[in-house]
Amino acid sequence: MKRFIFLGPPGAGKGTQADFLSKKLSIEHISTGELLRQEIAAKTTSGEKARLFVESGDLVPDEIVIEILKDHISKIRGAGYILDGFPRNTAQAQSLEEHEIGVDKVILFDIDKETVIKRLSGRLYCPACKKFYHEEYRPPKEDTLCDNCHRALIRRKDDDPESIENRIRVYLEQTHPLIKYYEEQGKLEHIDANKEVDVINQELLERIGR
Ligand code: ADP
Ligand code: AMP
Protein backbone atom coordinates (compact mmCIF):
# COMPACT_ATOMS: atom_id res chain seq x y z
CA MET A 1 0.00 0.00 0.00
CA LYS A 2 1.04 3.57 -0.66
CA ARG A 3 -0.79 5.92 1.66
CA PHE A 4 0.15 9.57 1.74
CA ILE A 5 -1.01 12.84 3.22
CA PHE A 6 -0.25 16.04 1.29
CA LEU A 7 0.07 18.80 3.87
CA GLY A 8 0.59 22.51 3.23
CA PRO A 9 -1.14 25.85 2.89
CA PRO A 10 -3.93 26.49 0.38
CA GLY A 11 -2.48 27.13 -3.06
CA ALA A 12 0.73 25.20 -2.39
CA GLY A 13 0.00 22.91 -5.35
CA LYS A 14 -1.16 19.86 -3.40
CA GLY A 15 -4.08 19.15 -5.74
CA THR A 16 -1.95 19.64 -8.86
CA GLN A 17 0.69 17.20 -7.60
CA ALA A 18 -1.83 14.72 -6.19
CA ASP A 19 -3.53 14.59 -9.57
CA PHE A 20 -0.19 13.76 -11.22
CA LEU A 21 1.07 11.25 -8.65
CA SER A 22 -2.22 9.40 -8.23
CA LYS A 23 -2.29 8.69 -11.98
CA LYS A 24 1.37 7.64 -12.04
CA LEU A 25 0.96 5.25 -9.12
CA SER A 26 -2.63 4.22 -9.87
CA ILE A 27 -3.76 5.26 -6.44
CA GLU A 28 -6.74 7.33 -5.37
CA HIS A 29 -6.63 11.12 -5.05
CA ILE A 30 -8.93 12.07 -2.19
CA SER A 31 -9.49 15.80 -1.80
CA THR A 32 -11.86 16.63 1.05
CA GLY A 33 -12.27 20.11 -0.48
CA GLU A 34 -13.47 18.50 -3.71
CA LEU A 35 -15.76 16.08 -1.85
CA LEU A 36 -17.27 19.07 -0.03
CA ARG A 37 -17.71 21.05 -3.27
CA GLN A 38 -19.58 18.06 -4.71
CA GLU A 39 -21.86 17.89 -1.67
CA ILE A 40 -22.49 21.62 -1.94
CA ALA A 41 -23.28 21.43 -5.66
CA ALA A 42 -25.65 18.50 -5.05
CA LYS A 43 -27.30 20.46 -2.21
CA THR A 44 -27.14 17.51 0.19
CA THR A 45 -27.72 18.05 3.92
CA SER A 46 -23.95 17.95 4.57
CA GLY A 47 -23.37 20.28 1.62
CA GLU A 48 -25.86 22.83 2.92
CA LYS A 49 -24.23 22.71 6.37
CA ALA A 50 -20.74 23.12 4.85
CA ARG A 51 -21.38 25.84 2.27
CA LEU A 52 -20.85 29.00 4.32
CA PHE A 53 -17.70 27.63 5.95
CA VAL A 54 -16.18 26.75 2.57
CA GLU A 55 -17.05 30.07 0.97
CA SER A 56 -15.50 32.09 3.78
CA GLY A 57 -12.44 29.87 4.03
CA ASP A 58 -13.16 28.53 7.51
CA LEU A 59 -12.82 24.85 8.35
CA VAL A 60 -15.99 22.83 8.02
CA PRO A 61 -16.88 21.19 11.40
CA ASP A 62 -14.88 18.00 11.95
CA GLU A 63 -17.86 15.64 12.26
CA ILE A 64 -19.13 16.61 8.78
CA VAL A 65 -15.77 16.21 7.02
CA ILE A 66 -14.84 13.02 8.85
CA GLU A 67 -18.16 11.40 7.95
CA ILE A 68 -17.75 12.32 4.26
CA LEU A 69 -14.16 11.04 4.21
CA LYS A 70 -14.98 7.77 5.99
CA ASP A 71 -17.83 7.11 3.63
CA HIS A 72 -15.65 7.77 0.57
CA ILE A 73 -12.64 5.78 1.76
CA SER A 74 -14.74 2.72 2.60
CA LYS A 75 -15.54 2.36 -1.11
CA ILE A 76 -11.91 2.39 -2.25
CA ARG A 77 -10.35 -0.88 -3.37
CA GLY A 78 -6.98 0.16 -4.72
CA ALA A 79 -3.28 0.16 -4.13
CA GLY A 80 -3.43 3.23 -1.92
CA TYR A 81 -4.40 6.86 -1.67
CA ILE A 82 -3.32 10.45 -1.31
CA LEU A 83 -5.24 12.48 1.26
CA ASP A 84 -5.18 16.05 -0.07
CA GLY A 85 -6.40 18.62 2.44
CA PHE A 86 -7.12 16.16 5.25
CA PRO A 87 -6.33 16.23 8.15
CA ARG A 88 -6.46 19.98 8.80
CA ASN A 89 -6.26 19.91 12.61
CA THR A 90 -5.13 17.57 15.36
CA ALA A 91 -8.61 16.16 16.03
CA GLN A 92 -8.87 15.12 12.37
CA ALA A 93 -5.41 13.50 12.50
CA GLN A 94 -6.48 11.52 15.56
CA SER A 95 -9.67 10.47 13.78
CA LEU A 96 -7.57 8.74 11.11
CA GLU A 97 -5.95 6.64 13.81
CA GLU A 98 -9.31 5.92 15.47
CA HIS A 99 -10.80 4.70 12.21
CA GLU A 100 -7.63 2.79 11.24
CA ILE A 101 -7.07 4.83 8.10
CA GLY A 102 -3.33 4.26 7.66
CA VAL A 103 -0.68 6.80 6.67
CA ASP A 104 2.84 5.87 5.55
CA LYS A 105 4.25 9.30 4.74
CA VAL A 106 3.26 12.94 5.05
CA ILE A 107 4.58 15.28 2.38
CA LEU A 108 4.86 18.86 3.56
CA PHE A 109 4.68 21.46 0.78
CA ASP A 110 7.03 24.26 1.90
CA ILE A 111 6.11 27.53 0.18
CA ASP A 112 6.30 31.33 0.62
CA LYS A 113 3.18 33.30 1.47
CA GLU A 114 3.48 35.65 -1.52
CA THR A 115 3.71 32.67 -3.92
CA VAL A 116 0.57 31.18 -2.39
CA ILE A 117 -1.32 34.46 -2.88
CA LYS A 118 -0.25 34.69 -6.55
CA ARG A 119 -1.27 31.09 -7.19
CA LEU A 120 -4.68 31.39 -5.55
CA SER A 121 -5.57 34.74 -7.08
CA GLY A 122 -4.88 33.44 -10.61
CA ARG A 123 -6.43 30.01 -10.15
CA LEU A 124 -9.09 28.85 -12.61
CA TYR A 125 -11.33 25.81 -12.13
CA CYS A 126 -13.37 23.61 -14.43
CA PRO A 127 -16.65 22.87 -12.63
CA ALA A 128 -17.19 19.80 -14.84
CA CYS A 129 -13.77 18.06 -14.86
CA LYS A 130 -12.69 19.52 -11.48
CA LYS A 131 -9.34 20.36 -13.06
CA PHE A 132 -7.31 23.41 -11.97
CA TYR A 133 -5.48 25.87 -14.21
CA HIS A 134 -3.69 29.14 -13.59
CA GLU A 135 -4.12 32.17 -15.81
CA GLU A 136 -0.37 32.77 -15.92
CA TYR A 137 1.44 29.60 -14.76
CA ARG A 138 -0.81 26.86 -16.21
CA PRO A 139 -3.05 28.56 -18.76
CA PRO A 140 -5.60 26.53 -20.70
CA LYS A 141 -4.83 26.12 -24.41
CA GLU A 142 -7.85 28.16 -25.49
CA ASP A 143 -8.49 31.42 -23.70
CA THR A 144 -10.50 30.50 -20.56
CA LEU A 145 -11.93 27.15 -21.65
CA CYS A 146 -11.15 23.75 -20.16
CA ASP A 147 -8.70 21.71 -22.29
CA ASN A 148 -10.75 18.53 -21.72
CA CYS A 149 -14.39 19.54 -21.98
CA HIS A 150 -14.26 23.12 -23.32
CA ARG A 151 -16.52 24.40 -20.58
CA ALA A 152 -15.92 27.96 -19.37
CA LEU A 153 -13.47 28.01 -16.49
CA ILE A 154 -14.51 29.80 -13.31
CA ARG A 155 -12.86 31.17 -10.18
CA ARG A 156 -13.61 29.47 -6.90
CA LYS A 157 -15.68 31.68 -4.56
CA ASP A 158 -13.10 31.14 -1.84
CA ASP A 159 -10.27 32.46 -4.07
CA ASP A 160 -11.30 36.07 -3.47
CA PRO A 161 -8.75 38.19 -1.51
CA GLU A 162 -10.69 38.11 1.77
CA SER A 163 -11.13 34.32 1.83
CA ILE A 164 -7.51 33.81 0.77
CA GLU A 165 -6.29 35.85 3.77
CA ASN A 166 -8.65 33.92 6.05
CA ARG A 167 -7.54 30.53 4.70
CA ILE A 168 -3.89 31.36 5.26
CA ARG A 169 -4.69 32.45 8.83
CA VAL A 170 -6.73 29.28 9.46
CA TYR A 171 -3.86 27.18 8.09
CA LEU A 172 -1.32 28.79 10.42
CA GLU A 173 -3.55 28.52 13.48
CA GLN A 174 -5.11 25.09 13.02
CA THR A 175 -3.22 23.04 10.43
CA HIS A 176 0.39 24.11 11.02
CA PRO A 177 0.61 22.20 14.37
CA LEU A 178 0.29 18.97 12.35
CA ILE A 179 3.87 19.46 11.15
CA LYS A 180 5.18 18.72 14.65
CA TYR A 181 2.58 15.97 15.12
CA TYR A 182 3.82 14.01 12.09
CA GLU A 183 7.47 14.92 12.65
CA GLU A 184 7.23 13.21 16.03
CA GLN A 185 5.82 10.12 14.32
CA GLY A 186 8.82 10.14 11.92
CA LYS A 187 6.55 10.40 8.88
CA LEU A 188 7.25 13.92 7.62
CA GLU A 189 9.08 14.70 4.36
CA HIS A 190 9.58 18.24 3.06
CA ILE A 191 9.24 19.27 -0.56
CA ASP A 192 10.13 22.72 -1.95
CA ALA A 193 6.76 23.73 -3.41
CA ASN A 194 8.01 27.09 -4.78
CA LYS A 195 9.48 25.28 -7.80
CA GLU A 196 7.83 24.60 -11.15
CA VAL A 197 5.17 21.91 -11.50
CA ASP A 198 7.36 19.52 -13.55
CA VAL A 199 10.31 19.84 -11.20
CA ILE A 200 8.13 18.94 -8.22
CA ASN A 201 6.58 16.05 -10.20
CA GLN A 202 10.05 14.56 -10.64
CA GLU A 203 11.10 15.15 -7.04
CA LEU A 204 7.98 13.44 -5.76
CA LEU A 205 8.54 10.47 -8.04
CA GLU A 206 12.14 10.14 -6.91
CA ARG A 207 11.31 10.52 -3.23
CA ILE A 208 8.14 8.49 -2.85
CA GLY A 209 7.07 7.11 -6.17
CA ARG A 210 9.21 3.99 -6.16
P1 ADP B 1 -3.76 23.41 -3.49
O2 ADP B 1 -4.42 22.11 -3.88
O3 ADP B 1 -2.58 23.19 -2.58
O4 ADP B 1 -4.71 24.42 -2.93
P5 ADP B 1 -3.48 23.82 -6.38
O6 ADP B 1 -2.89 22.53 -6.83
O7 ADP B 1 -4.93 24.06 -6.65
O8 ADP B 1 -3.15 24.06 -4.80
O9 ADP B 1 -2.60 24.99 -7.02
C10 ADP B 1 -2.95 26.37 -6.82
C11 ADP B 1 -2.80 27.13 -8.13
O12 ADP B 1 -1.42 27.22 -8.48
C13 ADP B 1 -3.49 26.50 -9.34
O14 ADP B 1 -3.98 27.54 -10.15
C15 ADP B 1 -2.37 25.70 -10.04
O16 ADP B 1 -2.59 25.62 -11.44
C17 ADP B 1 -1.15 26.56 -9.72
N18 ADP B 1 0.08 25.78 -9.47
C19 ADP B 1 0.17 24.59 -8.83
N20 ADP B 1 1.47 24.20 -8.72
C21 ADP B 1 2.20 25.21 -9.28
C22 ADP B 1 3.61 25.41 -9.47
N23 ADP B 1 4.52 24.51 -9.03
N24 ADP B 1 4.01 26.55 -10.09
C25 ADP B 1 3.10 27.47 -10.52
N26 ADP B 1 1.77 27.33 -10.38
C27 ADP B 1 1.31 26.22 -9.76
P1 AMP C 1 -9.40 22.89 -0.54
O2 AMP C 1 -10.07 22.40 -1.79
O3 AMP C 1 -8.51 21.86 0.10
O4 AMP C 1 -8.73 24.23 -0.74
O5 AMP C 1 -10.57 23.12 0.52
C6 AMP C 1 -11.59 24.08 0.30
C7 AMP C 1 -12.35 24.33 1.59
O8 AMP C 1 -13.06 23.13 2.00
C9 AMP C 1 -11.54 24.73 2.82
O10 AMP C 1 -11.22 26.11 2.85
C11 AMP C 1 -12.48 24.32 3.96
O12 AMP C 1 -13.53 25.25 4.11
C13 AMP C 1 -13.08 23.03 3.42
N14 AMP C 1 -12.28 21.84 3.80
C15 AMP C 1 -11.56 21.03 2.97
N16 AMP C 1 -10.97 20.04 3.67
C17 AMP C 1 -11.32 20.24 4.97
C18 AMP C 1 -11.00 19.58 6.19
N19 AMP C 1 -10.19 18.50 6.22
N20 AMP C 1 -11.55 20.05 7.33
C21 AMP C 1 -12.36 21.12 7.33
N22 AMP C 1 -12.68 21.82 6.23
C23 AMP C 1 -12.17 21.38 5.06
- In this structure, the residues whose C-beta lies within 6 A of any atom of ligand 2 are 10, 31-33, 36, 53-54, 57-60, 65, 85-86, 88, 92, 158, 167
Confidence grade of residue 210 (pLDDT, cut at 50, 70, 90): low
DSSP annotation of 152 reads: B
Confidence grade of residue 32 (pLDDT, cut at 50, 70, 90): very high
Q: What average pLDDT does range 185-201 have in this prediction?
A: 97
In a domain, 121, yes or no: no
Whole-number Cα distances in Å, 158 to 102, 104, 203: 30, 31, 29
- Please state, for a pLDDT cut of 90, what percent of the chain lies above it: 94
User: Which pLDDT score, from 0 to 100, does residue 30 have?
Assistant: 97
User: Which pLDDT score, from 0 to 100, does residue 76 have?
Assistant: 83
In a domain, 7, yes or no: yes
CA of 56 to the centre of ligand 2 (A): 11
HSE, CB side, 13 Å, CA atoms: give it for residue 206.
Answer: 7
User: How far is residue 131's CA from residue 152's CA, in Å, rounded to a whole number?
Assistant: 12
For residue 78, pLDDT over 80 is answered with no
Q: Is 88 a catalytic residue?
A: yes
The CATH number of residue 27's host domain is: 3.40.50.300
In a domain, 133, yes or no: no
Q: Which domain holds residue 99?
A: 2-112+161-207
pTM for this model (two decimals): 0.97
Number of domains in the chain: 1
In a domain, 75, yes or no: yes
Q: What average pLDDT does range 120-146 have in this prediction?
A: 95
In a domain, 144, yes or no: no
User: How far is residue 129's CA from residue 138's CA, in Å, rounded to a whole number?
Assistant: 16
The letter for the amino acid at 111 is I
In a domain, 193, yes or no: yes
For residue 77, pLDDT over 90 is answered with no
CA of 159 to the centre of ligand 2 (A): 12
Query: Where do runs of H (alpha helix) occur along the chain?
Result: 14-25, 32-41, 45-56, 62-73, 90-98, 113-121, 161-170, 177-184, 197-204
For residue 5, pLDDT over 70 is answered with yes
In a domain, 69, yes or no: yes
In a domain, 16, yes or no: yes
Per-residue pLDDT tens digits for 10-27: 999 999 999 999 999 999
Closest ligand 1 atom to Cα of 133:
16
